[in-house]
């Protein structure tokens, strides 16, 4: 069982008087640079330690919690543990004036047996998004269960929008300079998302960046339409292709 959550810390959150382990007033800026820092400090006491020292001992099976800033995923062997965690977590957060983001909170069946169980009801295994990746129940070449992670639609859309905005604002730069900057942008994207099963998606990202580039070049002035045949053998139009950078992840 996998239970993805995302929490939001409200302004002026104070620990209960009986909890001497951590008492602090938090001013939480959702879009501010301090948001991840405050989330890590606050949720380490309100969530991480509580899960490891108190809740985990109540579970019937295996239980794990993965958190980054204020986004976290709980994984449980049994449905009852997941449902109990969801109930107790709301109570725990209420003590600290915190609340779960309901639009990001759901209980789902995920893992090696998810496909079998869902197939019995004529359904496909559910997916969820976490830290920019879409997590999918899949199989490897030997037919064994494999966790497949691919860049989610939101991550790709945000990157392409940023690339398009930069190209339109710098369309009068020299082509070699544009190439250098786009290369840096793509390599940064690859550095995070270049996992197994991501090659096709990253190749599509590269193609879309080139398409936006062509569109920006055509807006330089009254020019004839630039064809892909013309651009395919131009050294300045080449952009780096993706390769798996994290084979062990």
What are the C-alpha distances in Å from 73 to residues 109, 202, 239? 13, 25, 36
DSSP assigned state of 1: -
With b for 16 or more beta-carbon neighbours within 10 A and e for fewer, the 120-149 pattern comes to: eeeeebbebbbeebbbbbeeeeeeeeeebb
Phi, psi (degrees; rounded to nearest 5) at 209: -65, -45
Joined together, the tokens standing for residue 161 give: 């929008």
CA–CA gap between residue 64 and residue 12 (Å, rounded): 29
Joined together, the tokens standing for residue 234 give: 């131009």
- Are 17 and 116 contacting, i.e. CB atoms less than 8 angstroms apart? no
Q: What is the pTM of this model?
A: 0.77
Choose among 28, 129, 153, 22: nearest CA to 71.
129
Encode 115-163 in three state secondary structure: HHHHHHCCCCCCCEEECCEEEEEEECCCCCEEEEEEECHHHHHHHHHHH
Choose among 110, 134, 152, 147: nearest CA to 249.
147
- Are 5 and 109 contacting, i.e. CB atoms less than 8 angstroms apart? no
Q: What is the pLDDT along the chain (249 residues), one digit of tens a residue?
A: 444 433 333 333 434 444 444 333 333 333 444 567 777 888 999 999 999 999 999 999 999 999 988 889 999 999 999 999 999 999 999 998 888 888 888 999 898 888 778 878 878 888 999 999 999 988 888 888 888 999 999 999 999 999 999 999 999 999 999 999 999 999 999 999 999 889 999 999 999 999 999 999 888 766 667 777 888 889 999 999 998 888 776
Specify the pLDDT at position 180. 97
Q: 63-68 and 133-139 as β-strands: parallel, antiparallel, unpaired?
A: unpaired
CA–CA gap between residue 95 and residue 201 (Å, rounded): 43
Total number of residues shown for the chain: 249
DSSP codes of every residue in 24-86: --B---TTSTTHHHHHHHHHIIIIIHHIIIIIGGG-SS-EEEEEETTEEEEEESSHHHHHHHH
Specify the pLDDT at position 34. 57
Specify the pLDDT at position 100. 87
What are the C-alpha distances in Å from 212 to residues 55, 108, 182, 235, 241? 50, 38, 11, 18, 17
Residues 6+ apart with CB under 8 A from 12: 25, 26, 27, 97
Residue 171: exposed, middle, or buried by beta-carbon count in 10 A (0-12, 13-18, 19+)?
middle
């Amino acid at each position: 069982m996998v239970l993805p959550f995302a929490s939001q810390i409200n302004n002026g959150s104070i620990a209960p008087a009986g909890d001497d382990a951590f008492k602090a007033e938090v001013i939480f800026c959702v879009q501010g640079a301090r948001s991840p820092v405050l989330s890590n400090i606050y949720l380490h006491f309100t969530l991480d330690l509580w899960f490891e020292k108190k809740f985990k001992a109540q579970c019937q099976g295996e239980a794990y919690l993965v958190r980054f800033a204020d986004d976290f995923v709980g994984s449980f062997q049994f449905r009852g543990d997941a449902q109990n965690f969801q109930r107790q977590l709301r109570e725990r957060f209420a003590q600290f004036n915190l609340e779960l983001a309901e639009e990001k909170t759901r209980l789902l069946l995920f893992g090696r047996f998810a496909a079998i169980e869902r197939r019995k009801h004529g359904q496909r295994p559910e997916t969820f998004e976490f830290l920019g990746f879409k997590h999918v129940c899949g199989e490897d070449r030997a037919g064994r269960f494999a966790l497949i992670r691919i860049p989610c639609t939101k991550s790709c859309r945000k990157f392409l929008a940023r690339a398009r905005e930069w190209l339109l604002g710098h369309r009068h730069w020299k082509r070699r300079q544009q190439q250098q900057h786009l290369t840096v942008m793509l390599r940064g994207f690859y550095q995070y998302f270049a996992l197994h099963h991501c090659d096709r998606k990253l190749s599509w990202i590269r193609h879309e960046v080139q398409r936006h580039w062509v569109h920006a070049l055509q807006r330089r002035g009254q020019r004839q339409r630039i064809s892909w045949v013309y651009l395919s053998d131009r050294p300045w139009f080449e952009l780096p292709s993706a390769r798996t950078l994290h084979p062990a992840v």
